[in-house]
Structure 1
């Protein structure tokens, strides 16, 4: 049974999917960190790069968005057309965010606009018809023919799997509704750069992303939002219910789930642990077999550990929303057939993921390479405070020693800090003040500070010399 829980009673919106008492995925929508994916902007082309065959578009974000040639309608339709022949600098252009800005990179944009519905996705300038790969070939061909007849020149549409379960008149109504929606958006008199449409992650994107047939219930903590969902998604109406105390129905409190999401180590089974390290460039997952002793044959034990880990890693990737480049360091396996067995287990486990994933195989060093489409920040990025990796205390002590050695013998100085820190400094370096006069002042501060003073201050405060201390 797959349950979707949505929490609206607060500034931050939260959604979770739960299956067999285990949280599968978590979605956050909070001010300042909300995803722009799916939102449409009226932007200004600031620069067209002939070498990159891409353009940089000002759409109102801190950084300009990146528009590749393949995402320009005219270039999509004519493969020989260069981007500078299709758009020009200073031009006003409708763009849609495909991928949020990340690190120093701006958002990835597309000028091929998509207006999503429940069963159809309308492309006002797409000029093609596509059908879900999950539909049989005969049904796909039928839908392509029908939709082509309904579209005007330049229009496009994507037929989703859900369309095959609905009457044709319902789809025609949806197509007209999506057309009208785009017309209303496109004639908005907003000076660029400006947002003309925002696609909310919760509930809009989420309910379109999760197949209606897979959801058994939708639990909402707000009565008004429950009614809105029933109106906007009538096919889900019977599955939606309002529960004021919805959080008490979760397997764990939200705060406990947050702690799991940011924990660098995850215990999975029989002493096996996963160590997960996220960086801006990639994510590294290390499998530690711990005290697992499941088989007398070491090679067979490695395979068993890795197969258990592969299933858990697939779950953690979804649970934490890990994306981009991911490297997995499984327990070392000697034979290629063992690697293939683990690879098969891992690929099967990833089939439940609605995000696009690519598994490339093992490197010569035995690391498994994969990637996962990035649309929004990982949950660790959203939940965890930035980590500032300062220099170690020992490093600062050795630097302080060098400063003291080079002090002028004609001046007087004060070294201030906690007593235990100054004791540690002296024990570590055996430092003396050489020719300079250095006195010590104990203060409740986490840093050791060296500053110039005068002899009058030293006498007034009764300070001891660093050389005679302890």
Structure 2
């Protein structure tokens, strides 16, 4: 049974998806990081990149967005045989409607499209291209063709329509009603864009509950437990139309709903570097800007069978857990998994099949490339939004995200070299701020090296300790002993 826990009682919105009481997906939306995906803006082309067939777009956010030539209506409606460089379709300074398809991530601006989509429950509307698409999930091919014919009959030449799976058992009246609604919405957006003088937002809506709804599959049985009454009523009404096996439950308790459902402990583990397997093995997950590396280790598990079979059993379990962690942490881009080395090619194929099977339920497309000659599995996962760590964590100010800081010895000897550059100055004293551990290295145990260092630089040394353990040193001031003493007194 599937369960969705929705926490909307506080400013930070969250929902968790559990399958058989196992956390498989988590969405967190802090107020300052609400997704822009689906929002429509008036944009202005700030730079054309001929070598990349792309442009940078100012759409009213801090960082410019990126738009590829293929995402321009003028390109899509042209003759593919005569396609040309991006300069043929758009120019610098031009204004155009754009929609966000991927949020801004560390170091990269948002990804944009000029193929603006508006959607409702049964229909997707795209202005500017002549296109009809029908969901491949229709059970009846005859019904699929009927809807394709109906779409071509009622659409205009500059409109693209996608018939969603939920339309299969609906009537033409609903189709026409939603089509007219979407046309009116687009016309209103276009009118407001004409009145806007600079890049800015034209259309947005709170997509949080829509994301919850996408997790509700009619072929599954489950319940949505939510701690916000308005949200509960909205979901209850939405579910009542479907008359499916799902139900909405309003949670009234005082305890935070995530704590009540025992999700908080599982949430804490999503940020840990080491993830343990049931058999005693473990994964080490390292996220970097360029790619994510997952290392598989046997750990305490030695197995009773031969080495190859032990490796296979650990790797199969690791494949399942790794796929779950990738989805749970919302890791995107290039991912490499260093499984325990196996010689049998059939075993490697089994690992690939296990990963493919585990990622079937992931709404973000995952492509398994295969094993390299070094036995490392390569895969990619489509990135549409920042990972959980990017959303909820900041780079450590001490180590700048490297995981390492300079040792007290490194800091002390670096300072000593710098002090030697100031030797024989006219001033008679220097004030230094440095950590206690580095100061002990600089001056020696019990200040044993202080006299020699002061003689070498020709100045008396005064030291204070900053708040915090990992601050680098600072030469605060040079001056007379009296001036430094007075400054320390004021400090």
Aligned 8 A contact 2:412 2:439 in 1 = no
Which residue in 2 is equivalent to 1:467?
none
Which residue in 2 is equivalent to 1:435?
456
The Cα shift of 1:289 comes to 1.3
Structure 2 Cα separation of the partners of residues 55 and 145 of structure 1:
36
Structure 1 Cα separation of the partners of residues 191 and 436 of structure 2:
70
Q: Partner of 1:203: helix, strand, or coil?
A: helix
CA offsets, 1:3-55, max 9 Å, x none? 22222211111111111111211112222211111111111222333332222
Which residue in 2 is equivalent to 1:239?
247
Unaligned runs of 5+ in 2: none
CA offsets, 1:398-452, max 9 Å, x none? 2123223444135433445455542244559978415223545453424444453
Which residue in 2 is equivalent to 1:185?
189
Aligned 8 A contact 1:126 1:157 in 2 = no
Normalised by the length of structure 1, the TM-score is 0.89
Structure 2 Cα separation of the partners of residues 323 and 5 of structure 1:
24
CA offsets, 1:138-192, max 9 Å, x none? 4433332222222121211112222224344333333333223222322224333
**Are 1:360 and 2:364 counterparts?**
no
Structure 2 Cα separation of the partners of residues 191 and 255 of structure 1:
46
Aligned 8 A contact 1:328 1:369 in 2 = yes
Q: Partner of 1:326: helix, strand, or coil?
A: strand
- Report matched runs for 1:118-157 at 5 Å: 118-136=121-139, 137-157=141-161
The Cα shift of 1:359 comes to 0.9
Which residue in 1 is equivalent to 2:108?
105
- Report matched runs for 1:274-293 at 5 Å: 274-293=283-302
Aligned 8 A contact 1:67 1:110 in 2 = yes
Return closer, same or farther for 1:232/1:174 CA change in 2, 3 Å cut-off.
farther
Larger deviation: 201-210 or 378-387? 201-210
Which residue in 1 is equivalent to 2:42?
42
Which residue in 1 is equivalent to 2:200?
194
**Are 1:261 and 2:270 counterparts?**
yes
**Are 1:341 and 2:350 counterparts?**
yes
CA offsets, 1:318-368, max 9 Å, x none? 111111111111111223222111111111111111111111011122221
Q: Partner of 2:313: helix, strand, or coil?
A: helix
Structure 2 Cα separation of the partners of residues 146 and 365 of structure 1:
54
Q: Partner of 1:256: helix, strand, or coil?
A: helix
Structure 2 Cα separation of the partners of residues 180 and 51 of structure 1:
38
Structure 1 Cα separation of the partners of residues 330 and 424 of structure 2:
59
Which residue in 2 is equivalent to 1:75?
75
Structure 2 Cα separation of the partners of residues 319 and 311 of structure 1:
12
**Which of the residues 293, 303, 318 maps onto 1:294?**
303
Which residue in 1 is equivalent to 2:390?
381
The Cα shift of 1:252 comes to 4.9
Aligned 8 A contact 1:134 1:161 in 2 = yes
Structure 1 Cα separation of the partners of residues 276 and 35 of structure 2:
31
Q: What is the aligned length?
A: 462
Q: Partner of 2:225: helix, strand, or coil?
A: strand
Q: Partner of 1:186: helix, strand, or coil?
A: helix
**Are 1:11 and 2:27 counterparts?**
no
**Which of the residues 216, 224, 235 maps onto 1:218?**
224
